[in-house]
Structure 1
Amino acid sequence: MSLPIVTATRYVLPLREGGSLPGVVEGNDLGTYVIKFQGAGQGPKALVAEIIVGELFRRLGLRVPELKLIELDPAIGKSEPDQEIQHLLVRSAGLNLAVDYLPGSFGYDGSAGNPGDDAMAKILWLDAFVANVDRSWRNTNLLVWHKNLWLIDHGAALYFHHSWMSAEKFASLPYDADDHVFSVAAPAVPAVAEELVAAITSELLTEVIALVPDEWLGDGDRERYLGHLLARLEQRATWQPGGAA
């Protein structure tokens, strides 16, 4: 099993959000995508986190825009007047990550309604599990599209891989739920945790880790990701928002 691969045919415009300069591109399948560049500041590890976390969340019932791999010929950006973007396109030649573009979506700010205690608790627990530090009211990384909540931008999760923190240290690393957009749902977390723990098997984690292209990983990295996540699952009483069930 692998992610679909498309080829970028046109660079449409940059999305000037954060430091990674994602952009909107068209693909040879006539789709429109937000492209995340492997040549951006954090390199391919941010894309690895996007795939592992996004696909795990999807399999656990959350809405995440479809992910694909996208081949980029840097020549498609030759008419782009911004030199920074031109350089980024050149550095990112080859395989990148494509996120399905949701036209007309808007950032969640709470005004679109309460998604419900169970949904909020589920998102909070899963963000804590993968150590996602980027889901606060400053930047919710949640979109509302067709009245549904969609989760985006998981490149800041799994940050243990930037220095390969030991699995033992990551397993019990505390999570600051107070800064999370759904911190109010912490009391409801223990009620949903049991179902999530039962669903996150070694087989499921192996499946989503296998979706990451070989060229974005080092020797033994797949086993490291699996070991770190299984260890964190085992030590959930030390980081679970709302306390242990």
Structure 2
Amino acid sequence: MDLNLRTVNVTRYITPLREGGSLPALAEADDDFKYVLKFRGAGHGVKALIAEFLGGQIAKILGLPVPELVFAQLDEAFGRTEADEEIQDLLKFSQGLNLGLHYLSGAITYDAAANDCEALLASKIVWLDAFITNVDRTFKNTNLLIWKKELWLIDHGASFYFHHSWINWEKTAVTPFALIKDHVLLPKASKLEEAHQQCISALNDSILSEIVNQIPEDWLQWEDQAITADEIKAIYFQFLSLRLQNAEIFLKQAQDARTTLI
């Protein structure tokens, strides 16, 4: 599977998508496709982009439906004519490489009460979110879309929350994910053991290393950390490797949470 991302140049800012706290936007690129842009100048900055990138790439390896990710280059002059000062500042601080997700035109938000999800797919999504510690796929905010009658995963920017403090990452790597109890698909995830076997078979250290090494260098220049880009990548890899080795821990947490739920 080709894990390399294309790089596009953003040519037109269309509209902000104010559903998200980080103020993503719909934009057009020089390949004539539209993308949901996640900006390095927003909220949690490049750490949210890294989480989005890692989560999306891992989901892709697991065969889960995610929109194409692209690196999106934002020119220095882009946004100077933007009338909204908040958006103008966001674009100014987001010059350089950002992240885009292919825009699923006409998609609707997944509604657990109205939309179904096959048990194995639900179980694999629950497994993924426990693996990457994604706190944001709940009934309040599903981060799931229905597009052309199929379910699609979006927005993994709230994953890997350990990197906001960058302490005790070893402990987090081997800790059950208690927040899985709030997962929107947990009631439908009746094949967690089967999903677990499929997921641990699909992932290994070689794949995880390949994904981590694709994180752009200029997303790894952190002013709040006196560590190098290579050291940051090494910790992301070790976190993922350790978590995969100890996947039984978060699997059991999900199984127990589901037993309590139903």
Distance in 1 between residues matched to 2:233 and 2:78, nearest whole Å: 33
Distance in 2 between residues matched to 1:43 and 1:9, nearest whole Å: 21
- Stretches of structure 1 lacking an aligned partner (at least 5 in a row): none
Shift of 1:11: 0.7
1:87-144 per-residue CA deviation (whole Å, 9 max, x = no partner) reads 0000101111111111000110125532211110110011001100000010000011
Aligned position for 1:12: 14
1:177 aligned to which of 180, 201, 210: 180
Shift of 1:17: 1.8
Aligned position for 1:242: 255
Aligned position for 1:44: 46
Aligned position for 2:218: 215
Distance in 1 between residues matched to 2:114 and 2:75, nearest whole Å: 39
Q: Which amino acid aligns with 1:3?
A: L
1:28-177 matches, cutoff 5 A: 28-110=30-112, 113-175=115-177, 176-177=179-180
Aligned position for 2:23: 21
Aligned length: 243
The SS at the match of 1:38 is coil
1:228 aligned to which of 220, 233, 239: 239
Pairing 1:188–2:201 present: no
- Stretches of structure 2 lacking an aligned partner (at least 5 in a row): 221-228, 257-262
Distance in 2 between residues matched to 1:234 and 1:203, nearest whole Å: 13
Distance in 2 between residues matched to 1:153 and 1:66, nearest whole Å: 12
State, as a whole percentage, how many aligned pairs show the same letter: 45
Distance in 2 between residues matched to 1:98 and 1:141, nearest whole Å: 16
The TM-score, its normalising length taken from structure 2, stands at: 0.88
Shift of 1:203: 1.1
The CA RMSD measured in Å over matched residues stands at 1.5
The TM-score, its normalising length taken from structure 1, stands at: 0.94
Moved runs in structure 1, 4+ residues, more than 4 A? none
Shift of 1:186: 4.7
Question: Residues 210 and 90 (structure 1 numbering): CA distance in 2 closer, same or farther, change over 3 Å?
Answer: same
Shift of 1:184: 1.1
1:24-83 per-residue CA deviation (whole Å, 9 max, x = no partner) reads 111111111111000111010110111111011012110110011111124332232211
1:20–1:41 CA contact under 8 A, matched in 2: yes
Question: Residues 146 and 186 (structure 1 numbering): CA distance in 2 closer, same or farther, change over 3 Å?
Answer: closer
Q: Which one is further off, 160-169 or 21-30?
A: 160-169
